[in-house]
């Protein structure tokens, strides 16, 4: 009997022994930089004639790891391996599959400081953000292991006279897992192992910016006893292998987290019938947001201030759930903006190997260029209050930036930036604030700060997002408690970390036997 699921507790880095342990892990992985990593197909290491280098965004001259790149021949090799493995793995009892995930959770727990260290160096997460990412990955392993057992025990039918009805949930087949770089261990782990624990086999194409962290999951699943061919690791250029993987006739499903443009392309390509394909491909997609926090005149302004800052600038605003728009009621607008600017200017920025730095780098030069372009747009559409420029250092550092007097419909009000840029809008009343919040094509997360019970009820009814938070920040969904997924152009609302999620990787077979 499994014990009840509980979220993984975060390491307290205020304790000297924990700080020392994390620093020791950082020192240890630094000795392993610029190692070459193979593809992993059918339980074997595979090398090609091409390499991709992953750099530390805090120190762009530092190579974290070098990865052999898969081409179409390697994708075919991995697909064949996954198909063979599926014919065995699909029949393994869900409890046995769950045991693999539980073992992996324990291994990851033991390696937490090391995984945090890789994330700090390759993804540019500060210590607390890295700790939260690794802890969430452990949560997914623990939660989906239990969910796989629950799905097996679901009856799903009602009695019928003289017949014995059954409903069996079967795995789909071979899936393509395309995770993002911003939660390189948590989302990758959740996407891959949800498919695996339900009896499917997968090809994992890690994000180009964070393959070293992805390879840590390969190591962990191997150590946990996952059979060969169930998880195949195939890093490569999206332009070369992305469409090929999606369009492959043996691909049964695609699980994707990333940009709206890529998600829509995957959805379009997956809908086209390939020669030899005998099913409709299933797409599970999470595609970002333009997330809003509303601070009402009847709110606890001190608490709201803390959580707006955390939501907007945690991990440099590089979360699909990050607060990108702040709507303030006019009665408290000026007071709150002044306090927000003061608090933001106190945030430290620099290489996140140093735990005293709250903000680190954005992920790569393309992200830096995009964010700076939006800052130029913001200077035309509103009034710059703070930031608006690069910070010093040998990384991709951008100061946390706030614009006020952004008008509804402006580009900074509508378009996803994915960086430390916050747009402040003013509303005359609460109903207007809700209307502004709902005015984008996205619908991922939102937050409302107010003590007014009637306004809370209005927000619950009319604020159209997949994850709504009341008097809480709009980032940091907890597995099990806050299933995560959005509406509209934010994706398919698959609700990762929720009781429905594993159903995305299963198909139901109704069986009825007549008797008497």
Q: Where in the sequence numbering do the catalytic residues fall?
A: 286, 320
Fold category of 40-53+62-287+494-511 in CATH: Aldehyde Dehydrogenase; Chain A, domain 1 (3.40.605)
CA–CA distance, 498 with 503 (Å, rounded to integer):
10
DSSP, collapsed to helix, strand or coil, labels residue 68 as strand
pLDDT for residue 127: 98
d(CA 377, CA 414): 12
Q: Which phi and psi (to 5°) does residue 60 adopt?
A: -65, -10
pLDDT for 320 equals 96
Question: pLDDT tens-digit profile of 217-270?
Answer: 999 999 999 999 999 999 999 999 999 999 999 999 999 999 999 999 999 999
Sequence-distant (≥ 6) Cβ neighbours of residue 174 within 8 angstroms: 79, 82, 83, 86, 200, 201, 202, 203, 250, 251, 252
What local confidence, expressed as pLDDT, does residue 3 receive? 78
Please name which of 96, 110, 183 lies closest in space to residue 145, comparing C-alpha atoms. Answer: 96
Q: Is-contact 296 326, C-beta < 8 A?
A: no
The CA distance from 189 to 127, in Å, is 19
How many Å apart are CA 130 and CA 121, to the nearest integer?
Answer: 10
pLDDT of 1: 57
Summarised one tens digit per residue, pLDDT across range 349-365 is: 999 999 999 999 999 99
CATH number of 291-478: 3.40.309.10
Looking at the chain, which residues constitute the CATH 3.40.309.10 domain(s)?
A: 291-478
Give the C-alpha distances (Å, rounded to integers) separating 74 from 42, 48, 69, 232, 493.
Answer: 11, 9, 9, 10, 32
Q: Is the Cβ–Cβ distance between 315 and 182 less than 8 Å? A: yes
Q: Which residue has the tokens 């003289």?
A: 162
Query: What residues in the chain have per-residue pLDDT under 50?
Result: none
The pTM assigned to this predicted structure is: 0.97
Residue intervals of the chain classified under CATH 3.40.605.10 are 40-53+62-287+494-511
Whole-angstrom Cα distance, residue 375 to residue 419?
10
């Amino acid at each position: 009997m499994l014990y009840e699921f509980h979220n993984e507790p975060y390491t307290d880095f205020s304790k000297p022994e924990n700080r020392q342990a994390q620093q020791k892990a950082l020192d240890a992985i630094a000795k392993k930089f610029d190692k070459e990593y193979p593809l992993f197909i059918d339980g074997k290491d595979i090398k090609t004639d091409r390499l991709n280098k992953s750099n530390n965004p805090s120190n762009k001259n530092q190579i974290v790891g070098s990865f052999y790149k898969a081409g179409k021949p390697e994708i075919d090799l991995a697909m064949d391996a996954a198909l063979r493995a599926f014919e065995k793995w699909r029949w393994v009892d869900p409890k046995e599959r769950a045991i693999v995930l539980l073992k992996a959770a324990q291994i990851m727990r033991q390696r937490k400081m090391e995984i945090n260290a890789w994330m700090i160096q390759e993804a540019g997460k500060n210590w607390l953000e890295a700790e939260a990412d690794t802890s969430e990955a452990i949560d997914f392993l623990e939660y989906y292991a239990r969910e796989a057992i629950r799905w097996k025990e679901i009856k799903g039918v009602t009695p019928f006279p003289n017949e014995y009805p059954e409903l069996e949930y079967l795995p789909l087949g071979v899936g393509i897992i395309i995770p993002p770089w911003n939660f390189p261990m948590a989302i990758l782990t959740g996407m891959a192992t949800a498919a695996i624990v339900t009896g499917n086999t997968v090809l994992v194409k890690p994000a180009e910016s964070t393959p070293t962290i992805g390879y840590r999951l390969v190591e962990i699943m191997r150590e946990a006893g996952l059979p060969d061919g169930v998880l195949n690791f195939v890093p490569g250029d999206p332009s070369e292998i992305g469409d090929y993987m999606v369009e492959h006739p043996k691909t049964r499903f695609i699980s994707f987290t990333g940009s709206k443009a890529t998600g829509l392309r995957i959805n379009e390509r997956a809908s086209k019938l390939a020669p030899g394909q005998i099913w409709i491909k299933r797409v599970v997609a999470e595609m970002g947001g333009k997330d809003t926090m509303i601070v009402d005149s009847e709110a606890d302004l001190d608490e709201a201030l803390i959580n707006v800052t955390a939501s907007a600038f945690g991990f440099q605003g590089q979360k699909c759930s990050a607060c990108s728009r702040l709507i303030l009621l006019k009665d408290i607008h000026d007071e709150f903006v002044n306090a927000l600017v003061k608090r933001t200017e106190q945030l430290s920025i620099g290489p996140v190997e140093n735990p005293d730095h709250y903000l680190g780098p954005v992920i790569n030069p393309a992200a830096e260029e995009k964010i700076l372009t939006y800052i130029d747009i913001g200077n035309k559409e509103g009034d710059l209050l703070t930031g608006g420029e690069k910070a010093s250092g040998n990384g991709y550092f951008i100061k946390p930036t706030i614009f006020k007097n952004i008008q509804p419909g402006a580009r900074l009000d509508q378009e996803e930036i994915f960086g430390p840029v916050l747009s402040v809008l003013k509303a005359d009343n609460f109903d207007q604030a809700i209307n502004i919040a709902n005015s984008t094509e996205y619908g991922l997360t939102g937050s409302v700060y107010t003590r007014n019970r009637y306004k809370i009820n209005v927000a619950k009814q009319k604020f159209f997002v997949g994850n709504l938070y009341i008097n809480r920040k709009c980032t940091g969904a907890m597995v099990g408690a806050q299933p995560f997924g959005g509406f509209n152009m934010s994706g398919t609302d698959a609700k990762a970390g929720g009781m429905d999620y594993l159903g995305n990787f299963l198909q139901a077979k109704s069986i009825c036997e007549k008797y008497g």
